[in-house]
């Protein structure tokens, strides 16, 4: 097993990010990927992809499909490209630009992850809702109650059913010869769909 990478589950410390440490953490990625309900042939959009932590993992699950990582910040795009050079994904395309405008030329998605929106969350969700394929899913990661309310209201107005999972993670760390836990910031994972789940 030495030298072999796991199929899924890249440790946070192996990924570059900008600003440093700002990414969808591995435990939250696991929940978000599950909630996306990806098929092997899925077309996936990662909007506000940042350093690409979720997009890179999603490309492994959607191995016969394609992932589009959309990011507007040049420094984050640089980190994303660096991560892709370390974890190559031939079925992942980096799209530099701001959503929702940058989504115009992409093929319609089966699943959309929104990790960032540049303050335009309602606009991004409206665009995504108009393009999402039947039985598609939207997953949004949020760190604030205010943006949770924006997402909830927008998704309700767009005719989606939704569920919020509050993900609270604490990781163990050594403390004076003992083991303590250090909490990460809680994250709201909103999953949304139309019709029957």
- For the stretch 130-172, pLDDT in tens is 999 999 999 999 999 999 999 999 999 999 999 999 999 999 9
- For the stretch 42-90, pLDDT in tens is 999 999 999 999 999 999 999 999 999 999 999 999 999 999 999 999 9
Q: What is the mean pLDDT of residues 16-44?
A: 92
| Surface-to-core class of residue 68, CB atoms within 10 Å of its CB (0-12 exposed, 13-18 middle, 19+ buried) | buried
Domains of the chain: 12-193 (3.40.50.150)
Coil vs helix vs strand at 75: helix
Query: Rg of the chain's alpha carbons, rounded to an integer?
Result: 17
DSSP secondary structure code for residue 133 in this structure: P
The pTM is what? 0.92
- Tell which phi-psi region holds residue 164, choosing left (phi > 0), alpha (psi between -120 and 50) or beta: beta
What are the E-state strand segments in the chain? 43-47, 66-71, 92-96, 111-114, 137-142, 161-167, 170-175, 178-183, 187-193
Residue 6 predicted with pLDDT over 80? no
Measured distance CA(21)–CA(23) in Å, rounded: 6
- For the stretch 106-135, pLDDT in tens is 999 999 999 999 999 999 999 999 999 999
Q: Please, what is the Cα angle at 144 between 139 and 147, to 5 degrees?
A: 60
């Amino acid at each position: 097993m030495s030298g072999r990478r796991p199929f899924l589950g890249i440790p946070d410390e192996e990924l570059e990010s900008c600003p440093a440490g700002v990414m969808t953490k591995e435990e939250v990625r696991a929940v978000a990927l599950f909630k996306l309900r990806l098929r092997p042939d899925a077309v996936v959009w990662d909007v506000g992809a940042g350093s690409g932590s979720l997009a890179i993992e999603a490309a492994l699950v959607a191995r016969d499909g394609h992932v589009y990582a959309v990011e507007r910040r040049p420094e984050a795009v640089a980190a994303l490209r660096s991560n892709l050079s370390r974890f190559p994904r031939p079925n992942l395309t980096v799209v530099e630009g701001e959503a929702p405008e940058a989504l115009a030329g992409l093929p319609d998605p089966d699943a959309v992850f929104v990790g960032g929106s540049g303050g335009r969350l309602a606009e991004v969700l409206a665009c995504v809702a108009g393009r999402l394929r039947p039985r598609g899913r939207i997953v949004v990661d949020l760190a604030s109650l205010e943006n949770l309310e924006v997402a909830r209201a927008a998704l309700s107005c767009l005719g989606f059913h939704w569920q919020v999972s509050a993900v609270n993670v604490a990781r163990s760390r050594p403390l004076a010869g003992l083991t303590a836990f250090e909490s990460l910031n809680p994250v709201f994972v909103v999953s949304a769909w139309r019709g029957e789940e």
